Amino acid sequence: MILVTGGAGYIGAHTNKALNQAGYETVVVDNLSKGYENFVKWGHFENYDFGSKDLREVFEKYDIDGVLHFGAFSSVAESVELPQKYFKNNYKNTINLLQIMREFGVNKFILSSTAAVYGNPEKVPITEDQELKPINPYGHSKFITEKALEREAAKGDFNYVALRYFNAAGCDFDCEIGELHEPETHLIPLVLDAAIGRRDSISIFGTDYNTPDGTCVRDYIHVNDLAKAHIDAYEYLCNENESNVFNLGNGKGFSVKEIIDMVKKVTGKEFAVKLDERREGDPDILIADATKIKDKLGWTPQYDLETIVESAWNWHKKIYQD
């Protein structure tokens, strides 16, 4: 049985579905602070906080072989406003989970890490060996969590994979689950909100970045490609007695303006675009070099930007139009 923390949230729910479709048994642990119970359509569900000592009850009830840890707060902007909230949930509560795993002899762990651990990278595409210099509390909270895992693995009888996601986007092709944050801060769903008429306009945060068109460049990766990478990483932990860190991205960068153009193309809708101030904590360019995971695990992303936006648009229409 695989324990999936945060399995009622966006990436956790997509991975939970993929795990069940691949024949794994799962138990989702989520306190529903951000997740949705109706996103847990596969496996068991337990409403617990992974930072609580009571989490032991889940380890007593189920025969857990490994943990996929999605439970975390993930808004860069909020982390700048409320840094301690991020250090407590993303770092301290993960330590609680690791302690309980040790107690129950569960020794396989996959962390949802982030490209935000790199800060403003020295060169792009970014390889895993670049120095980690996060520039916002969200990135910092994941950086220290990776360090805690390194220490835990050094103690022996424990292996982990940290997956450094670039920009997760897109939704389940069956529209059974999707991206739904409250409040929404991510670019693609916000632009889709403008396309569907839920907001009057979309604001571009900063037009003077050191990029070809002046707007931030990011590497958008379909959530199902991320989900598949977790299964590959879990199988790697089952077969090899080692830990590792991998970037997860498409290896291609798109600017905020290019994303807006793609949404207009896919949806056929016109909407107002405002040029706004920079948002604090945003690096200019984040693009993954995902060679390492391709070489080591044989994982390759399947979906391009147009497919990402189409799948997100289908989900958006389902929840806001149907």
Please list the active-site residues.
Answer: 138
CA angle in degrees (0–180, nearest 5) for 313-180-68? 115
194 binds ligand UDP (CB under 6 A): no
CB 179 within 8 A of CB 224: no
- Two tokens, residue 89: 């949930």
Q: Is 187 in the site for ligand UDP (CB under 6 A)?
A: yes
Contact 21, 38 (CB under 8 A): no
- Convert residues 113-152 into a mask of x (bound to ligand UDP by CB under 6 A) and - (unbound): ----------------------------------------
Q: Which two tokens stand for residue 203?
A: 């604001």
**Beta carbons of 12 and 71 less than 8 angstroms apart:** yes
Cα Rg of the chain, angstroms: 19
Shortest separation between residue 83's beta carbon and ligand UDP, angstroms: 16
Give the orientation angle of helix 256-267 with respect to helix 187-196, to 10 degrees: 40
Asked whether position 204 contacts ligand UDP by CB under 6 A, the answer is yes
Query: Contact between 236 and ligand UDP (CB under 6 A)?
Result: no
Regarding 203 and contact with ligand UDP (CB under 6 A), the answer is yes
For tokens 């396309």, what's the residue? 195
Distance in Å, CB of 261 to ligand UDP, minimum: 13
According to DSSP H, which parts of 35-183 are helical? 56-61, 76-81, 83-86, 93-103, 137-154
Asked if residue 252 binds ligand UDP (CB under 6 A), the reply is no
Which of 14, 108, 218, 230 is in the footprint of ligand UDP by CB under 6 A?
218
Exactly one of 186, 252, 264, 269 binds ligand UDP (CB under 6 A); that residue is 186
What residues contact residue 227 under an 8 Å CB cut-off, 6+ apart? 11, 14, 15, 17, 18, 19
Q: How many residues bind ligand UDP (CB under 6 A)?
A: 15
Should residue 279 be labelled a site residue for ligand UDP when binding is judged by CB under 6 A? Answer: yes
Selected from 2, 256, 308, 309, the binder of ligand UDP by CB under 6 A is 256
Taking the complex as a whole, how short is the minimal distance between the CB of residue 12 and ligand UDP, in angstroms?
17
Contact range with ligand UDP by CB under 6 A, out of 40-48, 94-102, 183-191, 291-299 = 183-191
Q: Closest CB to ligand UDP among 128 and 282? A: 282
Q: Which is nearer to ligand UDP, 99 or 203 (CB)?
A: 203
Judged by CB under 6 A, the residue of 87, 109, 158, 205 near ligand UDP is 205
Closer residue to ligand UDP (CB): 152 or 282? 282
Q: At what angle do helices 10-21 and 223-239 cross, to 10 degrees?
A: 60
Site for ligand UDP in 51-110 (CB under 6 A): 76
- In b/e form, how buried is each residue of 95-125, taking b as 16+ CB within 10 angstroms? ebbbebbeeeebbbbbbbbbbbbbbebeebb
Bridge partners (DSSP) listed for residue 17: none
Which is closer to ligand UDP, CB of 226 or CB of 297?
226
- Residues 191, 194, 198, 203: is their CA dihedral positive or negative? positive
Residues forming contacts to ligand UDP in the complex (CB under 6 A) are: 76, 167, 185-187, 190, 202-205, 216, 218, 256, 279, 282
